[in-house]
Amino acid sequence: MDPACWLCQHGAVPYHHGSLREALVEAGVQLAAESGPDAVVLREVSRRVGVSHNAAYRHFADRDALLHEVSARAMAAFGAVMAARVAATRQGPEPEAVAARLEATGRGYVQFAVEQPGLFRTACAFSLGDVAPHGDAPHPYAQLSAGLDAMVTAGLMTPARREGAEIAAWSAVHGFAVLVMEGPLAGVPEAQREAMLDVVLRVVREGL
Amino acid sequence: MDPACWLCQHGAVPYHHGSLREALVEAGVQLAAESGPDAVVLREVSRRVGVSHNAAYRHFADRDALLHEVSARAMAAFGAVMAARVAATRQGPEPEAVAARLEATGRGYVQFAVEQPGLFRTACAFSLGDVAPHGDAPHPYAQLSAGLDAMVTAGLMTPARREGAEIAAWSAVHGFAVLVMEGPLAGVPEAQREAMLDVVLRVVREGL
DNA sequence: TGTACATCAGTGAACGCGCGTTCACTGATGTAC
DNA sequence: TGTACATCAGTGAACGCGCGTTCACTGATGTAC
């Protein structure tokens, strides 16, 4: 079947949309990106897709079901940004490379929060473990864990220090992200922000 | 004038409340404590005080003005909890005491977030610098700064390390607070939470 | 001390908004014969 | 290949909710004379 809808840029809007569910989720992601999870509102989502505001009920039990789906997409985008940042970093098993990749994980975390605050908040809206990411990129937390495991394997961290390291690293990076995104550090110029992040990451690295 | 209202426990409700403004703010704080800043809603605040829902406009320009006031109270409570925790810690200029007091600052921060999540979120709702705390307790950020200054004075931290130390410490503690309050760490038993906080604080201390 | 009056702090009704959700419906699609 | 019919995916109207805000008002208070 040919969807032939404006969303898919094929011409006229058909009565049967063909992929309304997907279109609704995408519009939801757009809204979340613009204004956070509270903006994912059934009526506005339907409006954007160009469909009556109750059509969504053919595809979602209620607003919450849609929001969960949107949150999963946000989480996937989050993981993808982090993974891309790690992939762009020096590969290989050498200690410097392993440490650089862990640092890239943290930088990717903050990058996503800064560039996509709405999606960041949407991804965090449900207890972070609640939502399985939709897509291929691993969950942010899994990436952090893997990075710390690699540190131990590379001999950069003792197994004793590994204990609780996720929490400490996550806390520092997440806290920085929140401060920069909506706290007192909102609006500081990028260069200064990067310098601050350097300090945070150094403290974490040396503390671990 | 005798206020003579149920809020002040003096008997019948007078036509002229006498201290409606204060009563509204207190009800707002209560709502914020129960369910966060979004729950500070003019109609419900008025309902709780037992007054018609537009009486508030005699005392506040709009909902936002009330919310700012409530946020200032929340911030004051926040600072007070931290200050109390510091005050309950060993005093004096000895290095161990100085370090212990800085740690108490961080523990107080997390304690407030855990015990008063609604007020914590309300205090953070405006850019943290936006709201001057209402009351005597110093602003949380000021307490952290003072603690770090004392570390330098006590010779526990080099002036070079002092640079950006607020950001790093605040990030770690704030991030931990958020994770515990509404993130994946929500609901872990207190003992375990304390152990995790120990790790976070150790990482910060050694990292600085 | 008593009274007229200005001022102030409340009331009650209403407006307009946007939301989630449900209802009975209708047009489109696909399938059995 | 054509047709009857079941199924599915949408529509349009409506309900009920709670909100912020405004309006004209009224009862209480305090002050000038």
pLDDT at A187: 86
Task: Kindly provide the b/e burial profile for residues A63-92, where b requires at least 16 CB atoms within 10 angstroms of the residue's own CB.
Answer: beebbebbbbbbbbbbbbbbbebbeebeee
Burial class (CB in 10 A: 0-12, 13-18, 19+), B88: exposed
pLDDT over threshold 90, residue B42: yes
Three state DSSP letters for B30-54: HHHHHHCHHHCCHHHHHHHHCCCCC
Structure tokens at A6: 């404006």
The separation between the first and the last C-alpha atoms of chain B, rounded to the nearest angstrom, is 56
Establish if B142 touches chain A: CB-CB under 8 angstroms. Answer: no
Q: pLDDT digits over A114-161, tens only?
A: 999 999 999 999 866 666 777 788 999 999 999 999 999 999 999 999
Place of tokens 């704080």: B29
Mean pLDDT taken over chain B: 90
Mean pLDDT taken over chain A: 90
Establish if A175 touches chain B: CB-CB under 8 angstroms. Answer: yes
- Best of A124, A203, A204 to disrupt the B interface (most B CBs within 10 Å) is A203
Residue A13: band (very low, low, confident or very high) from pLDDT cuts 50, 70, 90: very low
pLDDT at A130: 67
> In this structure, what DSSP letter does residue B205 have?
H
Query: A14: helix, coil or strand?
Result: coil
Q: How many CB pairs under 8 A join A and B?
A: 112
Q: How far apart are CA B84 and CA B140, in angstroms?
A: 12
Q: How far apart are CA B144 and CA B177, in angstroms?
A: 15
Structure tokens at B161: 């390390």
Task: Name the residues in B62-81 having a C-beta closer than 7 Å to nucleic acid strand C.
Answer: none
CB–CB of A105/A144 below 8 Å?
Answer: yes
pLDDT over threshold 60, residue A10: no
pLDDT at A127: 66
Q: Is the dihedral of CA A154, A155, A159, A162 positive or negative?
A: negative
Contacts of B109 in chain A (CB under 8 A): none
Backbone angles phi, psi at A117, to 5 degrees: -60, -35
Residue B136: band (very low, low, confident or very high) from pLDDT cuts 50, 70, 90: confident
Burial class (CB in 10 A: 0-12, 13-18, 19+), A109: buried
Q: How far apart are CA A133 and CA A127, in angstroms?
A: 13
pLDDT over threshold 50, residue A188: yes
Question: Lowest mean pLDDT: which of A3-12, A181-190, B60-69, B77-86?
Answer: A3-12
pLDDT at A1: 33
Structure tokens at B21: 């403004």
pLDDT at B64: 97
Q: Which nucleotide is nearest to B66 (CA to C1')?
A: D20
Q: Which nucleotide is nearest to A4 (CA to C1')?
A: C28
Q: How far apart are CA A166 and CA B73, in angstroms?
A: 34
pLDDT at B185: 85
Q: How far apart are CA B50 and CA A61, in angstroms?
A: 39
pLDDT over threshold 80, residue A2: no
Rounded to the nearest angstrom, the minimum Cα separation between A10 and chain B is: 42
Place of tokens 């201390």: B205
Please state the length of chain B: 208
Backbone angles phi, psi at A180, to 5 degrees: -75, -35
**Per-residue flag: A90 CB under 7 A of strand D:** no
Contacts of A176 in chain B (CB under 8 A): 167, 171, 175
Q: How far apart are CA A91 and CA A201, in angstroms?
A: 20
pLDDT at B130: 67
Test A168 with B171 for CB contact under 8 angstroms: no
Q: Where are the alpha helices (DSSP H) in chain B?
A: 20-35, 42-49, 63-87, 95-115, 117-125, 140-153, 159-162, 165-182, 190-207
Query: A68: helix, coil or strand?
Result: helix
Query: A23: helix, coil or strand?
Result: helix
Structure tokens at A113: 């929060």
pLDDT at A17: 76
Residues 6+ positions from A65 with CB-CB distance below 8 Å: none
Q: How far apart are CA B99 and CA B102, in angstroms?
A: 5
Establish if B129 touches chain A: CB-CB under 8 angstroms. Answer: yes
Structure tokens at B109: 């921060």
pLDDT at A8: 35
Mean pLDDT (whole number) for A85-102: 98
pLDDT at B146: 97
CA atoms lying within 13 Å on the CB side of residue A118: 14
Rounded to the nearest angstrom, the minimum Cα separation between B39 and chain A is: 14
Mean pLDDT (whole number) for A165-188: 93
Q: pLDDT digits over B156-174, tens only?
A: 999 999 999 999 999 999 9
